[in-house]
Structure 1
């Protein structure tokens, strides 16, 4: 087990960008270093608050989508476009995260991401039209995209002996923030006088808390990197050689993971954006529809611990892929046959199906032997995957508007589960990208 003082110094140094090594001096040697316990607790709080902020901008909108459409005079196709903005931003801005992290340090980039989320959520209620609303949403989603990519990197790099525990904490917090926004947005809106703008803007408060925690974290990293003799050595992992780029584009496993990630993201964003509307059209109240979405999202809290641990104990993750897809198919069939009568059952089944997300992240970590390979594979799979997921919500909105019901959209959602199973089984095979290189 490593020495706590050394672990603290290493953690503090590597969160900042590497700085040139200076000759050691008695003053530098005696410079106070931050407490390991203080630093660890603050970083854990930062991870939790960052994760809590990664979905409310999306699920709060899903709960009030009908009010937003009426208030901004959106068509069904435009609303579908709105639900496709998250994966587009994740694909575009998420690909910038590794480069920004190398130049500025992951702590500063996460701080910038939290600030962007807060600013976007504060500006969105003041949007007078669809274009301004989309721009403010894109700003928040840019911050989410940067943090999306760097949160797993921070967990793996700064808690190397507690990856499973911290990943579970991070995933649980993400699911909690997702479900909390889905369940509480409508009641909060009603308590604030029924104005959907206030109901959406209130979630900026979580962002303010995250900025308040990450600001001292980012500043602490800079001082530690300058004052701590171990800092140059600690920054090594951030500058480790990267895996060759050609391995990603030529790897069947990388493409299978990217397609699996994209198809599960398609289902997740269709669910977050449209499931409350499906229930409301079936006669369920707006408040209950939001709670049903929250039930779907909260399934990720316990399963975020179970599925990754189970997956790492299996040589082939294909059976888990199939089981999750079958839950999704059953849920969509239920929404088609009895959307209101079995609403709670369908919400639970779709929540289980959506846990393909932590499974995808786990498989990304298992499909490379090196840390640099995992970073590159993660960037490839998430960027390509989010691009794949963009058309789904738009197509669902268009089909809903032109067909006047949910039969065709639900058929599409169920049909997408079949290729998700196929590519998921391929991605789950016991091999690495280095084997294919």
Structure 2
């Protein structure tokens, strides 16, 4: 680790490596996508029982990015009134309650409300995770970021893999509802931190403000080139990633792969993120300027695009794997939230702002790419994403420069 992380930290006297908080961060990360990927493979079965309809299934598909975007904006506001630990407990409780409500649903409305509640909790969890790392692990930002991003990736892949086997053994209600247990377990370490008295349950000035003494000064990330660049970086990354999350099976079928292979292609695309979660945070913490990660990601995306367009039958799994390397910018975005801020306040504000912008863009990606795929075809959709990648190269260059948010506020 370099000196940047060790200088940007929580108050002196904190534990060098608090094990309870580490467990809490990892458990929270495992819960940030379970409501999304545990449901998708079961939509047909659920529709047959409670009558979601095509419109209902489409709306359920839009809820995750919409709630992640909304709570990206709202969470920093809530954080000014309560502490990180208490809000984390409430987030995990909401995630658990929403998943139980979905498991008990007998009509589309209850399923929708349960999804809103569960994904609100996970949207809050998205935002509070980086400042929790900043607060408890100021000298180990890259290492702990690696752990929680790996947990996030596992929480994305594993629910999708086990959803159908559990449904076949115990029914769809158990398959989507049992993840509530994991969410409640994730709340326990933060309850422990609150009871130990080391948390800021009253909502300290440090959250959403610069400095720990004197009048609180709000952190407004949109008034910094670092904040704007990282938000747009997160947005372009999310747009490309969620476009393929939604449409990769259809793209795979369009180049001659079977329906089963299309589903496997999506699993491969997602699983490669586990490797990136291990490597990219380390690279971001090791090097002052991790822009080469952006370059590698964009080159792999473009190589995959070229293969899909001009040699689709030659090596389709090579093209899929190249596309899977592309979202390596996602763990970079999450790690930079802490590496480009000096304070817990800056981390919380930047986390909310960048994820609010990012998931708003993510909700547009599948819509625009799908429209182009059904109109001009695959070439039109990939041309659109190529333009997005060009923007990513520019804003990623600014976000990766070793400058701090608080130093560049205007």
Match of 2:53 among 73, 86, 99: 73
* Corresponding residue of 1:429: 401
Give the SS at the match of 1:435: coil
Counting only pairs closer than 5 Å after superposition, residues 26-425 of structure 1 correspond to structure 2 as 40-63=18-41, 72-74=52-54, 82-124=60-102, 132-189=110-167, 191-192=168-169, 197-198=172-173, 202-215=175-188, 217-225=189-197, 238-240=204-206, 242-243=209-210, 244-245=217-218, 247-280=220-253, 284=257, 287-337=260-310, 342-400=315-373, 402-403=374-375, 406-425=378-397
Closer/same/farther in 2, CA of residues 84 and 263 from structure 1, 3 Å limit: farther
Q: Give TM-score scaled by structure 2 length.
A: 0.80
Give the SS at the match of 1:354: helix
Cα distance between partner residues in 2 of 1:93 and 1:246: 17
Closer/same/farther in 2, CA of residues 41 and 85 from structure 1, 3 Å limit: same
Cα distance between partner residues in 2 of 1:364 and 1:126: 38
Structure number, greater radius of gyration = 1
Q: CA deviation at 1:321?
A: 1.3
Cα distance between partner residues in 1 of 2:43 and 2:312: 19
Cα distance between partner residues in 2 of 1:68 and 1:343: 32
Deviates further, 62-71 or 151-160: 62-71
Q: CA deviation at 1:288?
A: 4.3
Give the SS at the match of 2:54: coil
Cα distance between partner residues in 2 of 1:98 and 1:312: 25
Q: Give TM-score scaled by structure 1 length.
A: 0.75
Cα distance between partner residues in 2 of 1:178 and 1:168: 15
Cα distance between partner residues in 2 of 1:348 and 1:178: 18
Cα distance between partner residues in 1 of 2:255 and 2:159: 22
5+ long unaligned stretches in structure 1: 1-6, 12-35, 226-230
Deviates further, 383-392 or 66-75: 66-75
Indicate the RMSD between aligned Cα atoms, in angstroms: 3.6
Closer/same/farther in 2, CA of residues 362 and 222 from structure 1, 3 Å limit: closer
Contact persistence 2:293–2:328 (CA under 8 A): no
Cα distance between partner residues in 1 of 2:254 and 2:42: 14
Cα distance between partner residues in 1 of 2:242 and 2:327: 10
Closer/same/farther in 2, CA of residues 245 and 58 from structure 1, 3 Å limit: same
Matched residue count: 390
Contact persistence 1:258–1:384 (CA under 8 A): yes
Cα distance between partner residues in 1 of 2:103 and 2:257: 26
Cα distance between partner residues in 2 of 1:81 and 1:122: 19
Cα distance between partner residues in 1 of 2:177 and 2:226: 39
Closer/same/farther in 2, CA of residues 185 and 345 from structure 1, 3 Å limit: farther
Cα distance between partner residues in 2 of 1:251 and 1:213: 34
Cα distance between partner residues in 2 of 1:333 and 1:135: 42
Q: CA deviation at 1:336?
A: 4.1
